[in-house]
Structure 1
């Protein structure tokens, strides 16, 4: 894929499967301290300790410790100057004002790089709790059900606050393309813009291919993208009047992005960085932490091997390290699949109770959601043959679920 243009502090690594943003210079801890002292009005003699906390695809997170408490400063790369930072701030403030979703208060922000640290930043409240990912194995199933119930309640609140346009699907790294970035009036416009980006990507990849295999892969993906473009108007009308109803949808609501207290109660929902208003049919999906393969039978712990003591373990303090309690990792994978299968059912039942007509909305949205899934996977270059197979079946008037085709490899009749 072509590398986007560089900006001050931002470079691109195109040496792997994907083009990834990289920091060409590190934010200065001294400059961050000076910025925070100014914004938080901390006197020179008072404590203002800055330490690195975490890093995401586009940002670095710093912990600010003061006499009066703690805050977080998120410093962002200029992948989508002004818009991404301002969009996140607007989303957080909207949720705090209009819903009960526990999100951090924005203390101050700058959506330009013309400041003390030379990057866009958001200074926000530090929310209590730890990620439910770290506590998941210690929670009872009753506590997990209660958490899913609360997520359904919060999602219902969000979905009742609607808009009439669709935001950009992702913070685009295709700055030079002559394609629309939204806001979009209809799902058709929204998805056509996405597919146009994919087509342009693969056309460039064909020209720049280093060998015949890379060229053939790009040609296959390009052909599929064009098939999806042809299928688009059969699923989504090109004219939408009145405009579609849209809602805020957190498409990365993973266990890492939900904070809980010791009892498993939700204390915060974080990482709203690239969240936008999406068509209502997108928001009929289960949250990300409930996605995954189905497993109806609960795994029996004794049926699994003990953990190999000679197997290398994660480094001490590793972010994703969990206690396997002496059992092989496969047991925990199967247990998670079983639990999420049951919790998905409970989430759906909760939404049906909270939102009359929800079951009909989900049923009517399934093909649209699958089409979006096919477009996303086409852009990533994965499962091309099976997505082609799924398109064949749709064009024949059948309606298999995309995940069934991807997992089972259904034969085209």
Structure 2
């Protein structure tokens, strides 16, 4: 069981922060981990192996003998980037997914959200899945779908369609993170949405600010808070050209927010995991055995949550590449064309799975598909990208061009019907080149093929 007593969340946070002994500068002590688990399981024959680590957590494989075989589990040791909330939210999310969906996720065996054990950090022990992750061609960042059987691909898509449909059917009441059930010790608080757990809210630069972390009633509140944080970051930096540009963009985004989002609504949200990539998916033969990586899974507005899973995202290629288009008149590969052809085949394979996913979603959950295909959804997703990237000098020029186009479109709509206070602006979602396309250059034209196999952007390709 988790190490908790029945206290209010506020009391737990104060206690955890007061007693927290961890340090971001030091890796967890493996001997202390073995000692802790040895006490928990009453044994001293535990082995520990580091699997991975990042700025948020260390992941270890734990093995212990049992009846002539090795039992494997995973322990995630959390660095103190967001004491209490990050661990509680991750455990809550996993339990919610187990309760409301059929997607296989690891069982939480034991956990500690206080950082007061001998490890000195928060930790979660999880079930370990036996399987292999999806094969990836690292050079192009694509799944090698040629190594995945057709039945495996169809089964994988069906299970994720079922998962996305289930999350859409169990919408939540606000934007934030889940704190429920065993993770909080207060059973009647199931499905409670609380403060958001997101790096942009708890990163070091923003910890000194007295900004709200939710839960947020609607998209407008959530985006306003994020813009305010960006503005405060700008004020803390000397007036460089990039900072001045960011401030100008922020001012324009604040005005545009009033046209794209209603600040008076109580807006539903959907559980959204952006980390379901190839390395998160564990397969055994033709069966999905587990999906891992559930940190930073928040309840987000429907326009944000109705999106392709990460392993299906990318440039769309709606025409199967023909090898002949990559050869010269003598039948030899054009310069660089061999690599392009291999990459484009992978993109086409993924595009066919995008189509399968969207076709299945339209049958199982047409409301999800309607939101995904909506032109206002496209505008709002572009706005979200602009908020996240407004202080990035590499993207500021693209954001400014996008804003100019949107603002010009709004002015044209106003002039066409000056008597209408709130004209429908959603049509701009299809008439204006998207910011996502401008930044990530998904125009999808081969540099080498004699007859390029071009396709529109991945998130609207099925509308062409």
Q: TM-score under structure 2 normalisation?
A: 0.72
Does the aligned pair in 1 maintain the 2:242–2:391 contact within 8 Å?
no
Distance change (3 Å), C-alpha of 1:359 and 1:124: closer
Q: TM-score under structure 1 normalisation?
A: 0.80
Distance change (3 Å), C-alpha of 1:350 and 1:62: same
* Matching residue of 2:62: 64
Structure 2 residue ranges without an equivalent (≥5): 1-19, 137-143, 177-195, 328-336, 410-427, 444-464
Measure how far apart 1:301 and its partner are.
6.1
* 1:31-74 deviations in Å (ceiling 9; x for gaps): 111111222x1323xx3111111113311101110113111000
* Matching residue of 1:193: 225
Matched, 1:347 2:347: no
Does the aligned pair in 1 maintain the 2:227–2:387 contact within 8 Å?
yes
Q: How far apart, CA to CA, are the structure 2 residues paired with 1:27 and 1:358?
A: 42
Q: How far apart, CA to CA, are the structure 2 residues paired with 1:253 and 1:301?
A: 32
Measure how far apart 1:133 and its partner are.
3.4
Does the aligned pair in 2 maintain the 1:290–1:344 contact within 8 Å?
yes
Q: How far apart, CA to CA, are the structure 1 residues paired with 2:78 and 2:370?
A: 40
Q: 1:180 aligns with which of 183, 197, 212?
A: 212
Q: 1:121 aligns with which of 113, 120, 123?
A: 123
* Matching residue of 1:202: 234
Question: Which secondary structure does the structure 2 equivalent of 1:251 belong to?
Answer: coil
Q: How far apart, CA to CA, are the structure 2 residues paired with 1:195 and 1:332?
A: 41
Q: How far apart, CA to CA, are the structure 2 residues paired with 1:95 and 1:408?
A: 33
Q: How far apart, CA to CA, are the structure 2 residues paired with 1:395 and 1:78?
A: 42
Q: 1:51 aligns with which of 42, 49, 52?
A: 49
* Matching residue of 1:321: none
Question: Which secondary structure does the structure 1 equivalent of 2:384 belong to?
Answer: helix
Does the aligned pair in 1 maintain the 2:145–2:349 contact within 8 Å?
no
Measure how far apart 1:359 and its partner are.
3.5
Q: How far apart, CA to CA, are the structure 1 residues paired with 2:152 and 2:370?
A: 29
Q: How far apart, CA to CA, are the structure 2 residues paired with 1:404 and 1:387?
A: 11
Q: How far apart, CA to CA, are the structure 2 residues paired with 1:92 and 1:153?
A: 16
Matched, 1:232 2:241: no
* 1:212-271 deviations in Å (ceiling 9; x for gaps): xxx11222122212211221111001111xx211111111211111111122x2111111
Larger Rg: 2
Question: Which secondary structure does the structure 2 equivalent of 1:206 belong to?
Answer: coil
Q: How far apart, CA to CA, are the structure 2 residues paired with 1:55 and 1:224?
A: 35
Measure how far apart 1:85 and its partner are.
0.6
* Matching residue of 2:198: 170
* Matching residue of 1:221: 246
* Matching residue of 1:255: 278
Does the aligned pair in 2 maintain the 1:206–1:219 contact within 8 Å?
no
* Matching residue of 1:279: 301
Q: How far apart, CA to CA, are the structure 2 residues paired with 1:221 and 1:284?
A: 28
* Matching residue of 2:163: 154
Question: Which secondary structure does the structure 2 equivalent of 1:281 belong to?
Answer: helix
Q: 2:152 aligns with which of 143, 149, 157?
A: 143
Measure how far apart 1:385 and its partner are.
0.9
Distance change (3 Å), C-alpha of 1:34 and 1:408: closer
RMSD: 2.4
Distance change (3 Å), C-alpha of 1:405 and 1:29: closer
Distance change (3 Å), C-alpha of 1:255 and 1:395: same
* Matching residue of 1:106: 108
Distance change (3 Å), C-alpha of 1:227 and 1:123: same
Matched, 1:374 2:401: no
* Matching residue of 1:389: 401
* Matching residue of 1:356: 366
User: Number of aligned pairs?
Assistant: 357
Structure 1 residue ranges without an equivalent (≥5): 1-6, 11-22, 208-214, 306-326
* Matching residue of 2:269: 246
* Matching residue of 2:42: 42
Measure how far apart 1:9 and its partner are.
4.6
* Matching residue of 2:437: 404
